């Protein structure tokens, strides 16, 4: 949900794309500056936040990972609800993953809010010698469907910060998804302490 104060904006950002395309790796690189060669399927983490400064304002991204629910096409509508931005990730060494990315874009156009900022990320750009999807093909598709496109590498960090920065720049011009009207039961400030006492 995009909600704005004077100079800062909270924006929910969702990741989409096939298993193994590198969604979690992109987030880990962006949020923690880390890369793991053998990233396990997403377990235990589903909610990251990271703040980006653009011009005179800040954008605090609340980043939702799929938690593996995309594997059997079982993402809940809640996942898309109120999202201000989405990154659709594919693997440049797999034409299948690019085809699936297009399906995710369709899904977003159906489920997401119409003013959402959408980015297409051709990940694993460091694997040039195994490339199967050309940047031209992806860029053309992106332009036709109102997305912006970048090739990224979570491994080398190429374009990772840039893609989030680019989204942050485009956000303030987008309409807020929904006026934030509700309340959360637990203050997110205190979330860390509570999480540690929960469910152990």
Partner 1 sequence: MDEEYDVIVLGTGLKECILSGLLSVDGLKVLHMDRNDYYGGESTSLNLVQLWKKFKGSDNPPPNLGSSRDYNVDMTPKFIMANGTLVRVLIHTDVTKYLYFKAVDGSFVFNKGKVHKVPANDMEALKSPLMGIFEKRRARKFFIYVQDYNENDPKTHDGMDLNRVTTRELIAKFGLDDNTIDFIGHALALHRDDGYLNEPALDTVKRMKLYAESLARFGGGSPYIYPLYGLGELPQAFARLSAVYGGTYMLNKPECKVEFNEEGKVIGVTSEGETAKCKKVVCDPSYLPNKVRKIGRVARAIAIMSHPIPNTSDSHSVQIILPQKQLGRRSDMYVFCCSYSHNVAPKGKFIAFVSTEAETDHPESELKPGIDLLGPVDEIFFDIYDRNAPVNEPSLDNCFISTSYDATTHFESTVEDVLNMYTLITGKVLDLNVDLSAASAAEE
Among 123, 125, 63, smallest CA distance to 88 is for 123
* Nearest residue (CB) to partner 1, 65 versus 151: 65
- Name the packing angle between helices 95-111 and 135-144 (round to 10°): 10
Q: Does 185 bind partner 1 (CB under 8 A)?
A: yes
Q: Does 47 bind partner 1 (CB under 8 A)?
A: yes
- How far is Cα 121 from Cα 26, in angstroms, rounded to an integer? 10
Q: Does 69 bind partner 1 (CB under 8 A)?
A: yes
The residue range among 119-127, 140-148, 161-169, 183-191 that interacts with partner 1, by the rule CB under 8 A, is 183-191
| Alpha carbon 10 to its chain's center | 14
The residue range among 78-86, 116-124, 125-133, 152-160 that interacts with partner 1, by the rule CB under 8 A, is 78-86
The residue range among 90-98, 101-109, 153-161, 176-184 that interacts with partner 1, by the rule CB under 8 A, is 176-184
The residue range among 92-100, 120-128, 145-153, 178-186 that interacts with partner 1, by the rule CB under 8 A, is 178-186
* Nearest residue (CB) to partner 1, 69 versus 161: 69
Q: Which of 38, 55, 56, 73 binds partner 1 (CB under 8 A)?
A: 73
Q: Does 144 bind partner 1 (CB under 8 A)?
A: no
- How far is Cα 129 from Cα 47, in angstroms, rounded to an integer? 34
């860390």: which residue's tokens?
192
CB of 14 to partner 1, least distance (A): 12
CB of 61 to partner 1, least distance (A): 15
Q: Is 174 left (phi over 0), alpha (psi -120 to 50) or beta?
A: beta
* Nearest residue (CB) to partner 1, 98 versus 104: 104
Q: Does 130 bind partner 1 (CB under 8 A)?
A: no
Distances (CA, A) of 88 to 53, 95, 108, 181, 185: 22, 14, 10, 28, 31
* Beta pairing class for 85-91 and 8-17: parallel
- How far is Cα 89 from Cα 71, in angstroms, rounded to an integer? 14
Residues of this chain that bind partner 1 (CB under 8 A): 1, 3, 10, 42-47, 67-69, 71-74, 76-79, 81, 178, 180-191, 194-195, 198-199
């Amino acid at each position: 949900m995009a909600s704005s104060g004077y100079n800062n904006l909270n924006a929910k950002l969702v990741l989409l794309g096939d298993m193994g395309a590198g969604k979690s790796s992109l987030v880990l690189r962006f949020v923690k500056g880390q890369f793991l060669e053998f990233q396990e399927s997403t377990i235990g983490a589903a909610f990251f936040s990271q703040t980006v400064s653009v011009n005179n304002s800040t954008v605090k991204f609340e980043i939702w990972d799929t938690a593996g629910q995309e594997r059997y096409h079982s993402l809940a509508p809640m996942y898309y609800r109120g999202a201000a931005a989405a990154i659709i990730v594919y693997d440049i060494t797999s034409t299948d993953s690019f085809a699936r990315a297009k399906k995710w874009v369709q899904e977003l156009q159906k489920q997401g809010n119409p003013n959402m900022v959408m980015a297409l990320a051709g990940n694993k750009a460091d694997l040039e010698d195994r490339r199967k999807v050309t940047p031209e093909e992806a860029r053309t598709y992106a332009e036709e469907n109102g997305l912006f496109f970048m090739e990224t590498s979570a491994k080398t960090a190429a374009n990772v910060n840039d893609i989030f920065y680019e989204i942050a720049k485009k956000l303030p011009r987008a309409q807020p998804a929904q006026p934030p009207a509700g309340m959360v039961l637990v203050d997110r400030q205190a979330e860390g302490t509570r999480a540690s006492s929960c469910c152990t």
